[in-house]
Structure 1
Amino acid sequence: MDRYPVRVEGHRDESLSRWLWLVKWIILIPHYIVLAVLWIGLVVLTLVAYVALLFTGRYPESIRAYNIGVLRWTWRVGYYGYQVLGTDRYPPFTLAAVPDYPARFQAEPGPPPPRWLPLVAWLFAVPHLILLGALTGATWSFGDGDARADAPLSLVGAAVLVAAVALLFSGRYPAGLHDLLVGVARWNLRVAAYLTLITGRYPPFRLDQGGSEPEPEPEPEPDGGRSATVAS
């Protein structure tokens, strides 16, 4: 398994508040406002980067740094908030990396994407978007006829709800749910990094669960791991 150049980590607090998740939506409002502006900038600057890559073969480093910063900020807010609920440490207002924050996002430097990629990156990403939409955007229906009601409760939403209720009544966060939610977020962020051309490497169709990125398996030795016997 190769190491993907976009790395997403989320390390859950050992102890989480039972009730803080009830009010996180209020205290995150300043972040939501700032992120709305930052994401407008990300869309505009990504289009500029697309044009620059098409005509010059270069991705402006300043735009790449900005896009990485926006995705990093988004992940910290999502991890604190209702994407994972993995920490009670309030996310900082910065595009820069914060190494000691529980949620971290980084993109390793590499060669610029191919010049033609801006023309088809969105098309190549469609299969990923369909699968991620099924995980994060499903709607459940209840009842029949006039009594029918629709609830926007996706797999991710249901997992977060279960984790929140478990925290409220037991003070414990199910580890399996945390690993699942981080895995879905990791997949989302890899696709976002590909669409913004932070990396030109196509994201894998893989749900890498867990707080840490999976490390590549060591390559077997040519002799199958057996040491050669040297005659004395």
Structure 2
Amino acid sequence: MQQETVYPVQFSVDYPDRPLNRLSTFFRIFTVIPIAIVLATISGGNWQWTSNSRTTVITIGAAGLLFLAPLLMILFQQKYPRWWFDWNRELLRFSNRVTVYTALMDDRYPATDEEQSVHLDFPYPDAAQDLNRWLPLVKWLLAIPHYVVLFFLDIAVVVVVIVAWFAILFTGHYPRGIFDFVEGVFRWHNRVLAYALLLVTDQYPPFRLRP
């Protein structure tokens, strides 16, 4: 049998082999709000309102995942500044912790600086050796087939998470099959983000849920 290539973006979530907090699960849509606001503030955004035919916009927070700046550095200098890489990786890790918590896969409140049950890693690239300087210009276009597949997978995730919500309320446990499926979809998302947006690898993401 031919072995599958190990993709450089590794993602996994520890399965909670214990009773989950049913009260926290029941109110998850509300308990996630504070940490979601923190994430939105870090990721950037704006508030906008209209008064007397005038529009006022206030920008909140810093930039989110850096895309254009690394693209330009790779294109013109074949460099990927380390602190930009570290920012993108840590922000993506934090975002995944919030997403995993929202999907009921962990009942521990998402930490801003601890790994907890969510493991995401990818190697720092040597831009001159590992990255094609022209490919970042078209990666977003090459990833379109993934966007289409993930659109339908995300719909399925919403449905199965609702099923998991009822399962946890009645049994205290997250069905393992549903857990593995949701984990696989999140893994797929991270691979596509690392390829098309973070630009840390030129290896095209595989069409699979498995590691």
The structural deviation recorded for 1:186 is 0.3
1:89-128 to 2 correspondences below 5 Å? 89-94=108-113, 98-99=114-115, 101-112=116-127, 113-128=131-146
Matched, 1:130 2:148: yes
Q: Distance in 2 between matches of 1:115 and 1:39?
A: 26
Contact preservation (8 Å) 2:195, 2:201: yes
The structural deviation recorded for 1:31 is 1.9
Contact preservation (8 Å) 2:70, 2:80: yes
**1:37–1:182 CA distance, 2 compared to 1 (3 A):** same
Q: Kindly name which structure, 1 or 2, has the bigger radius of gyration based on alpha carbons.
A: 1
- Over aligned residue pairs, what C-alpha RMSD do you find? 1.5
Contact preservation (8 Å) 1:16, 1:171: yes
Q: Could you say what secondary structure the match of 1:5 adopts? A: coil
Paired-residue identity, %: 38
| CA deviation string 1:46-70 (max 9, x = no partner) | 1111111111011111111111011
- Judge which range, 63-72 or 30-39, deviates more: 30-39
Contact preservation (8 Å) 2:191, 2:205: yes
Matched, 1:202 2:201: no
Q: Could you say what secondary structure the match of 1:42 adopts? A: coil
Q: Distance in 2 between matches of 1:60 and 1:188?
A: 24
Q: Distance in 2 between matches of 1:25 and 1:169?
A: 18
TM-score between the two structures when normalised by the length of structure 1: 0.75
Q: Distance in 2 between matches of 1:171 and 1:31?
A: 24
Unmatched 5+ stretches in structure 2: 45-62
Q: Distance in 2 between matches of 1:34 and 1:193?
A: 22
The structural deviation recorded for 1:170 is 2.0
**1:47–1:29 CA distance, 2 compared to 1 (3 A):** same
Contact preservation (8 Å) 2:80, 2:126: no
Q: Distance in 2 between matches of 1:127 and 1:73?
A: 26
Letter in 2 for 1:87: D
Unmatched 5+ stretches in structure 1: 137-153, 209-213, 215-232
1:42 aligned residue (53, 64, 72): 64
Contact preservation (8 Å) 2:78, 2:133: yes
Letter in 2 for 1:110: P
| CA deviation string 1:54-108 (max 9, x = no partner) | 11011111111111011100111111112xx1111111123xxx35x11111112
Contact preservation (8 Å) 1:190, 1:203: yes
1:1-232 to 2 correspondences below 5 Å? 1-14=4-17, 15-40=19-44, 41-43=63-65, 45-82=66-103, 85-94=104-113, 98-99=114-115, 101-112=116-127, 113-136=131-154, 154-195=155-196, 196-208=198-210, 214=211
The structural deviation recorded for 1:164 is 0.6
Contact preservation (8 Å) 1:68, 1:198: no
| CA deviation string 1:88-144 (max 9, x = no partner) | 1111123xxx35x111111123332211022101001111011001111xxxxxxxx
Contact preservation (8 Å) 2:194, 2:200: yes
How many equivalent residue pairs? Answer: 185
